[in-house]
């Protein structure tokens, strides 16, 4: 529910918006009672919110509002925008006001006007304004792990980094672009930049193997708190294999991703798949499984910024005679940087737990920008 001021202007602003909502509601329903009815989420919306957000959450005309709309003003009937938001985020915006979540201060805080139960009623009503149930709900957009691919389709730009802390010097970075289209689909492009230590203390660097992928959500349930997706990728041999900057072969990859919400803001995510190179002399076929378990904590009684500690278990094995399964553990933590929570970073360490010869410990990092929720400089 985007967005208005904080508690410093609560008295005057709340009175104007509340009375404005009542007047509009009564003008569209002459038989309505003059006293606000707060028995249902729709009643609360039509008494307190309709003055700005309009009938059905589609917004009032500019001429009716009398002020300039912020660029992020929502249309709650637009499934593409409303379904990807979590009810908890709407709840925080209603309670704290737009300024409290990095949106416009045109949205007031309703902390003193509505109880938490009434806020829950109105946010449930907002969620009901999208009539298309094919769209996965924002609650299923679980925190991104460092290695385990999530099932939810995204509009994001992510920069990842990995550096060896033991063994041979090596550093890799990926610029990942993810674009959602429709309710269930996503395309992904990953452009890597790799560096490796050479003899004599020199380093070689350059572009690695470009990856292009397509994700499709196959099943989701807000009631069960689960989502399942399938994804196919192709890795193109754009890196220099002689400098250890690429594989030198085209590799096709297919995997499934599953996410499950657990009690008390906990979750588990699982990814399992296989890689199929076009030339098995240059790279072996392989299978893998990745599992991430975590729990999100939020400050300011659940209305503020959040941090999410996670642990991943990573297993992979080449499909060839005598191959052994490698297992790694990755403790990590993701932190939201801004009030809007659409800019996040994560830091972790990948450590081999068996077959350690020739397998190095790595420091892992990413910075994430969910650009559907606003510009990189917005929401601070």
35, exposed or middle or buried, with CB in 10 Å at 0-12, 13-18, 19+? exposed
DSSP states along 63-78? HHH-SPPPTT---TT-
Looking at the predicted structure, is the pLDDT value of residue 133 above 90?
yes
**DSSP-assigned letter for residue 37:** P
Looking at the predicted structure, is the pLDDT value of residue 316 above 70?
yes
Q: How confident is the model at residue 199 (pLDDT cuts 50, 70, 90)?
A: low
Looking at the predicted structure, is the pLDDT value of residue 362 above 80?
yes
Q: Write down the pLDDT at residue 378.
A: 94
Q: Write down the pLDDT at residue 17.
A: 40
d(CA 93, CA 91): 5
Q: Which of 54-63, 92-101, 357-366 has the lowest mean pLDDT?
A: 54-63
CB atoms within 10 A of CB 58: 13
d(CA 304, CA 335): 12
Q: Write down the pLDDT at residue 13.
A: 34
Instruction: Check whether the bond before 55 is cis (ω within 30° of 0).
Output: no
Phi and psi based region of residue 42 (left: phi greater than 0; alpha: psi -120 to 50; beta: remaining): alpha
**DSSP-assigned letter for residue 353:** -
Mean local confidence (pLDDT), 78-93: 94
Q: How confident is the model at residue 201 (pLDDT cuts 50, 70, 90)?
A: low
Buried b (16+ CB within 10 A) or exposed e, 106-119: bbbbbbebbeeebb
Residues 6+ apart with CB under 8 A from 351: 328, 329, 330, 361
- Architecture of the domain whose range is 7-128: Orthogonal Bundle (1.10)
Cβ atoms of 316 and 323 closer than 8 Å? no
Instruction: Kindly state the percentage of the chain with pLDDT values over 90.
Output: 73
- Across all residues in the chain, what is the average pLDDT? 88
d(CA 273, CA 262): 24
The residue ranges of every structural domain in the chain are: 7-128, 138-373
Tell me the pLDDT tens digit for each residue of 169-190.
788 999 999 999 999 999 999 9
Looking at the predicted structure, is the pLDDT value of residue 243 above 70?
yes
Candidates 75, 76, 72, 54; CA nearest to 63 is 54
Candidates 153, 272, 274; CA nearest to 220 is 153
3-class DSSP state of 31: coil
66, exposed or middle or buried, with CB in 10 Å at 0-12, 13-18, 19+? exposed
Mean local confidence (pLDDT), 55-69: 79
Q: Write down the pLDDT at residue 64.
A: 74
Pair of tokens at residue 38: 């707060």
The domain made up of 138-373 has a fold known as: Porin (2.40.160)
CB atoms within 10 A of CB 265: 16
Tell me the pLDDT tens digit for each residue of 245-261.
889 999 999 999 999 99
Pair of tokens at residue 275: 């890689």
Candidates 153, 132, 192; CA nearest to 370 is 153
**DSSP-assigned letter for residue 4:** B
| pTM, two decimal places | 0.86
Q: Write down the pLDDT at residue 256.
A: 98
Looking at the predicted structure, is the pLDDT value of residue 90 above 50?
yes
Q: How confident is the model at residue 9 (pLDDT cuts 50, 70, 90)?
A: very low
């Amino acid at each position: 529910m985007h967005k208005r001021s904080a508690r410093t202007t609560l008295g005057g602003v709340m009175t104007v918006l509340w009375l404005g909502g009542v007047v509009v509601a009564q003008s569209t329903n002459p038989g309505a009672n003059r006293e606000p009815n707060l028995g249902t989420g729709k009643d609360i919306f039509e008494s307190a919110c309709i003055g700005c957000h309009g009938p059905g959450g589609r917004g009032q005309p500019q001429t009716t509002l009398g002020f300039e709309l912020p660029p992020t003003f929502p249309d709650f009937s637009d499934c593409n925008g409303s379904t990807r938001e979590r009810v908890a985020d709407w709840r925080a915006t209603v309670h704290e006001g737009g300024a409290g979540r990095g949106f416009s201060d045109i949205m007031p805080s309703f902390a003193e006007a509505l109880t938490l139960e009434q806020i829950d009623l109105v946010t449930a009503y907002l969620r009901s304004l999208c009539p298309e149930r094919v769209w996965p709900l924002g609650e299923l957009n679980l925190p991104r792990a460092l290695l385990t691919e999530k099932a939810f389709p995204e509009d994001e730009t992510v920069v990842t980094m990995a550096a060896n802390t033991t063994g041979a010097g090596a550093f890799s970075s990926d610029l990942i672009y993810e674009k959602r289209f429709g309710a269930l689909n996503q395309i992904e492009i990953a452009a890597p930049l790799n560096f490796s230590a050479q003899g004599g203390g020199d380093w070689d660097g350059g572009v690695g193997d470009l990856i292009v992928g397509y994700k499709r959500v196959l099943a989701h349930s807000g009631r069960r708190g689960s989502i399942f997706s399938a994804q196919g990728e192709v890795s193109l041999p754009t890196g220099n294999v002689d400098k250890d900057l690429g594989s030198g072969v085209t590799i096709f990859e297919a995997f499934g991703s599953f996410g499950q919400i657990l009690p008390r803001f906990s979750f588990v995510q699982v990814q399992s798949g296989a890689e199929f190179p076009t030339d098995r002399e240059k790279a072996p076929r392989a299978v893998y499984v990745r599992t991430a378990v975590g729990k999100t904590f939020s400050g300011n009684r659940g209305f503020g910024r959040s941090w999410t500690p996670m642990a991943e278990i990573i297993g992979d094995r080449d499909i060839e005679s005598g191959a052994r399964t490698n297992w790694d553990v990755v403790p990590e933590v993701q932190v939201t940087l801004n009030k809007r929570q659409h800019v996040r970073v994560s830091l972790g360490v990948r450590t081999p737990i068996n077959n350690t010869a020739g397998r190095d410990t790595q420091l892992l990092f990413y910075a994430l920008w969910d650009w559907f929720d606003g510009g990189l400089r917005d929401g601070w």
